[in-house]
Structure 1
């Protein structure tokens, strides 16, 4: 439709607007009948409609949209539609604000968190997503899940963090991190204007972080007392404990293990890169992320076979027995359940063995590798520790043969501890190049 067909409009031309944009100087030019083209000092070009509601003393205005997304012809048409509403007594600016508020209210914290996790799939590791889901599900969503995301305040966040801190300061910090990420996603999506976590500091809410707990390395004497009683917390839990000691993996890596990752013929277990702690940061730095292959000793291989028989066809190495979606074993065990099992074992052991965590078993494996004479570099590679400096740059060898020899030695040592057999330190030897 031509400009002259719009009564009272038609002062501007597209060529004029392009010239103003080219100069970059702020302008405000009327097209007529209240429609104005504006160009800000920052270069934002917009259409504004100025109008006066019947009975009102002052003039009001509403932003119709940005140029060139909203062309000159489209701006004139939209302005004409708005003026019809104004003539009918509607305050179009108020109407637009109400519509925006209704849209924002449709975004509850629950809906926003669901959208966040959907967006995070493939960007965050499955273990990170699982952890954040659990933190929000257990501590945040029961309190603020039904709140409109745009109306959540810093005080609401503090209430959630304080409630989580009554269980664990560490958990409270994780909950705050999860909420901060979800609300940052909401700001990016224009669901909310501000992040209510922006000025909430964990140290101010729950105090400063306690000093890191000293890692426990179980001694040979403790292992000789512990391993024979490992099955008192259930056969699968006992097998899991032995595998953690024999491989030195993190608990999350074992919990996430599936039978497709275990190759019985080649006697090895592959941990996908997505399940390995810290690999997300490496990927963000543009570094190549690789799966980690663990050679399995004969004892470890046997313990995996026993777990396979217990798993009952589940794809997970450590499935939960509780039905999920009508299927038993459809989900893996949680780290919380494993910690509880280890606490029961510690209570059973009493003074004969110090209380330990799953990560302490990783520390124990590393300590015992050193005690068995395994070279520092090989022991670190057994635990998939990052090798800093020039070693990480120039030494790309995976030391598979050396790691297999080291873990075979560790496996035999653990069997000797469990069976009560004597053990003489066997000097770890170099593996000849093939």
Structure 2
């Protein structure tokens, strides 16, 4: 029959301390091998529940009292277990006795309290691991996709789109809690007014939620899926809005526009002039730096990370383009800069045609250039496509990106310069390349 232990009171428990090696019956046998009088851990039975003890450790770090905690020493199956019930005095005597009774009840039911506690903790950690917000998962998605994108501008566009249209609605939501209604609320305000943006937003949200499913952060169907899901809620994007092309200046009006542009002062006008002469994109011109320019060889080399196609692009510079660059001040690393030394804005360039009475866009001049190439020259289409950095076919590049491709493009840009300046008549009669000699 087990020895009965007197039930201690709260006052008695507060007085319990660590033990000493010298013949203390509450000290474990292995501790008695130490020098007599050495402080050691002591286990004090407190009664009320068999096996319930207060573990008292020697003080450390100059403290008066060592750490004290509750231990339930009992049999679990065929093994004796010391089950921790919490620290004292955070866990009071009455609380410790209640916890001990609950542990013994579990044992009586065939449940190991320690194993049960570990299982509950694992389940809690698993649930916490799933509590990832959409914004956190989206940022991880963008970081990984950035390695696939060709330019930093593409990454910035994706981040801006998510921040503007997705995060305000579902950014703080746990990935597993996002439902179809949340996606509809996110897309509804912009589906008709900004259909293309809404479409792209939906597409990337779907991919991000797919990533959440792969990581076990959510289960069930993807609420951002289009087919068989959101297509029942929103009208087809092709029927909601029509594709709007950039407004371009008619080819025959270009020489007159050029004369007006040359009289215009300002960094925006010079940037637009350079854009027209090179048939480059606005972003490529605005970000152009002096280190990309070789005036002696008359070439502008745009690095791959600034190109839409993700490949380095060489632009032959005509005489007028070189003269323009030579006249530009060099007060910044950028050729076309604002008062802060940073690249001029897209608005600065785009507003120039409007001040000259033309409702066209800066990007539209690339279309004007292409129309001129088709209507007024005999250059192969692939040459003008290379000039516009449109060619993506490896076979086409292999055929035209040889040493003479740059020379042909240089000839093309020289003729384009002459046309802009009104030195070549706007006739659809073209002369073959071979006839030029």
Structure showing greater relative contact order (alpha-carbon pairs closer than 8 Å, 6 or more residues apart): 1
Report deviation, 1:160: 2.4
Change (3 A) 1:405 1:178: same
Shift of 1:267: 1.6
RMSD, aligned CA = 4.2
Q: 1:286 maps to which residue?
A: none
Cα distance in structure 2, aligned partners of 1:148 and 1:358:
43
Separation (CA, whole Å) in 1 of partners of 2:104 and 2:196: 56
Output aligned runs, 1:61-72, within 5 Å: none
CA contact (8 A) 2:289 2:335 kept: yes
Question: Which residue of structure 1 lines up, in the alignment, with residue 7 of structure 2?
Answer: none
Note if 1:84 corresponds to 2:114: yes
Q: Does the Cα contact within 8 Å between 1:161 and 1:205 map onto a contact in 2? A: no
1:148 match:
174
1:122-156 per-residue CA deviation (whole Å, 9 max, x = no partner) reads: 32122321211121222222333322233222322
Matched with 1:313 is: 332
Contact 1:255/1:334, CA 8 A, preserved across alignment: yes
Residue 291 (str. 1) matches residue 312 (str. 2): yes
Q: Is the 8 A contact 1:109 1:148 kept in 2?
A: yes
Q: Cα–Cα, structure 1 residues 413 and 178, in superposed 2: closer, same or farther, change >3 Å?
A: same
Counterpart in 1 of 2:271? 240
- Aligned 8 A contact 2:379 2:432 in 1: no
**Structure with the higher fraction of residues in helix conformation:** 1
* Residue aligning to 1:400: 406
Closer, same or farther: CA 128–214 of 1 in aligned 2, 3 Å: closer
Say whether residues 1:114 and 2:143 are aligned partners: no
TM-score calculated relative to the size of structure 2: 0.61
Query: How far is the alpha carbon of 1:430 from its aligned partner?
Result: 3.6
Deviation of 1:401 after TM superposition, in Å, equals 0.6
Q: Provide, for residues 69-117 of structure 1, a one-character-per-residue CA deviation record: whole Å limited to 9, x for no partner.
A: xxxxxxxxxxxxx75152xxx4x55543332232333x32332232223
The question of 1:205 aligning with 2:215 is answered no
Q: Distance in 2 between matches of 1:118 and 1:102?
A: 23
8 Å contact 1:245–1:364 — kept in the other structure? no
Larger radius of gyration: 2
Equivalence map 1:24-423=2 (5 Å): 83-86=113-116, 90=117, 93-105=119-131, 107-125=132-150, 126-165=152-191, 167-193=193-219, 195-199=222-226, 201=230, 204-205=233-234, 207-209=236-238, 210-213=241-244, 216-230=247-261, 235-279=266-310, 290-305=311-326, 309=330, 312-314=331-333, 316-317=334-335, 328-329=340-341, 332=343, 337=347, 342=350, 344-345=351-352, 347-350=354-357, 353=358, 355-377=359-381, 378-386=383-391, 391=396, 394-397=399-402, 399-416=405-422, 423=425
Structure 2: tracts of 5 or more residues without a match = 1-75, 80-102
